[in-house]
Amino acid sequence: MEGGYLDGFPEGSVWGRRVGARKRRRPRRLLLQAQLASKVGFGYLTRMSRPEDRHAAFVAEVTAGTTHEIRNILAIVKESAGLIEDLIYAFNKRGSLDQDKLTRSLGRIEAGVARGTEILSNLNRFAHSLDHVEDAIDVTREIQQVASLCQFRARRRRHVLQVQPGDQNLTLVVDPFRFQMSLFAAVGCCLEQLPEGSTVSISTDRKDDRPTVEFTGHAGGEEPLPAPTEATGWSPLLELAEDLGASVEVAESAYGFRIYLSAADAS
């Protein structure tokens, strides 16, 4: 399409911007930034000056993490399938079958398929968050999706990332893509600052008629934890929250902070 909007994306959406002739190539700088962002973390990509660069780098980081996770799953499935082949060969040779090994191998394959399906489903939902500039979302569902997509980053530092849904169903009319960017930024602050082996809990609530998302860190040691405001991704988080009409409040005790979402868009 000559000088038009990208096919399949509405005008005004993140990717629905005007592009040049079909022969125009993507700037090498943007490709390098996206590759670097996938390695160094979310704080870097939010400091990019152009919004389209930040969006591309964000997609790159999410995709990099999930594809690493899928590769790990496929490696386990391949190893288990190889063991099953060995068991079948042994059965054909000697007429005996180690049923315990067979059952364990099949169990690992089944677990891998279930985990891979969950990852791909969340990645698909994440990709479709670009379909609409504004949409009604289930806050808890979005948090669960982000937590699932962040598991690879969390496991690299032996963190446990868990979601604790509140008693109320919270619906928000918002830009789904930007909302997920803010949640990723918040998780990134926690993973950056908490020592290895910590637990990050994400919970939802409603306070002062505003839906909230709270991030709490639990570390096993006695050493004092840094303030969330000292995280390299803190300023970008505040910018993302402001774009959503939200605000961020730091907990007075322990490690944590709360994002107050817009009451006007909630139900």
Helix (H) or strand (E) holding 77: helix 51-94
Asked if 45 contacts 61 with a C-beta cutoff of 8 angstroms, the reply is: yes
Write down the pLDDT at residue 182. 94
Tracing tokens 């911007």 back to the chain, one arrives at 17
| Beta strands 199-207; 160-164: pairing state | parallel
Q: Collapsing DSSP states into helix, strand and coil, what is residue 226? A: coil
CA atoms of 79 and 171, how far apart (whole Å) = 43
Tens digit of pLDDT per residue, the chain (267 long)? Answer: 433 334 444 444 444 433 333 334 444 444 444 444 444 455 555 556 677 777 888 888 889 889 999 999 999 999 999 999 999 999 898 888 889 999 999 999 999 999 999 999 999 999 998 888 889 999 999 999 999 999 888 988 899 999 998 877 888 899 999 999 999 999 999 999 999 989 999 999 988 888 899 999 988 776 788 889 999 889 889 999 998 999 999 988 789 999 999 865 555
Treating both helix axes as pointing N-terminal to C-terminal, what angle do 234-243 and 176-193 enclose, rounded to 10 degrees?
A: 160
CA distances from 46 to 33, 182, 184, 187, 188 (A): 11, 10, 11, 14, 11
Tokens representing 89 are 């060969």
In angstroms, the CA 1 to CA 19 distance is: 9
Domain ranges of the chain: 1-128, 135-265
CA dist 123 and 102 (Å) reads 31
| CATH code of the domain occupying 135-265 | 3.30.565.10
| pLDDT tens sequence across 172-192 | 899 999 999 999 999 999 999
Amino acid found at 34: A
Cα(256)–Cα(253) distance, integer angstroms: 8
What pLDDT is attached to residue 118?
92
Q: How far from 29 is each of 5, 14, 36, 52, 262, CA to CA, in Å?
A: 22, 19, 11, 12, 35
Would you state the pLDDT for residue 47?
Answer: 57
Q: How many Cβ atoms from other residues are within 10 Å of residue 102's Cβ?
A: 16
Tokens of 103: 């059952």
pLDDT value, residue 6: 40
Residue 266 β-bridge partners = 172
